[in-house]
């Protein structure tokens, strides 16, 4: 019995400080309905990373799944691109400024 297609997102890992957990920042760019201006939306997803393979700056594919904890509803499917250490530092600084 199928319950519908699970959602997937592509984003960048902005935190890997937790055990088996990463925080993924997903950027969505959409056009405004009336004014046609591009709007950038940032969303943070807490994802389950069983092997602990993801590092900061990695580009990953996450899939929606069962609840892993209070806030975790996503699972890292695969690492699409390895991030450089310099990118990781920039992402960390951006995350601090955003908060």
- What is the overall mean pLDDT for the chain? 89
- For the ranges 3-7, 15-19, 83-87, the lowest mean pLDDT is seen at 83-87
Q: Give the pair of three-digit tokens for residue 5.
A: 């297609």
Q: What is the pTM of this model?
A: 0.81
At 23-44, the pLDDT tens digits run 999 999 999 999 999 999 999 9
What is the rounded distance in angstroms from the CA atom of residue 47 to the CA atom of residue 40? 22
* Pairwise CA distance, residues 93 & 61, whole Å: 23
- Domains of the chain by range and CATH? 8-98 (2.40.50.140)
What ranges make up the beta strands (E) of the chain? 8-18, 21-31, 38-48, 59-64, 74-81
Distance of alpha carbon 60 from the chain centroid: 7
SS3 23: strand
């Amino acid at each position: 019995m199928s319950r519908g297609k699970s959602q997937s997102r592509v984003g960048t890992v902005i935190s890997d400080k937790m055990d088996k957990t990463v925080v993924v920042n997903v950027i969505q760019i959409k056009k405004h309905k009336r004014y046609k201006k591009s709007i950038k939306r940032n969303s943070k997803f807490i994802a389950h990373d069983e092997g602990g393979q993801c590092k900061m700056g990695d580009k990953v594919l996450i899939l929606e799944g069962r609840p892993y904890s209070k806030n975790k509803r996503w699972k890292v499917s695969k690492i699409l691109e390895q991030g450089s250490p310099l990118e990781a530092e920039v992402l960390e600084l951006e995350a601090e400024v955003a908060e």
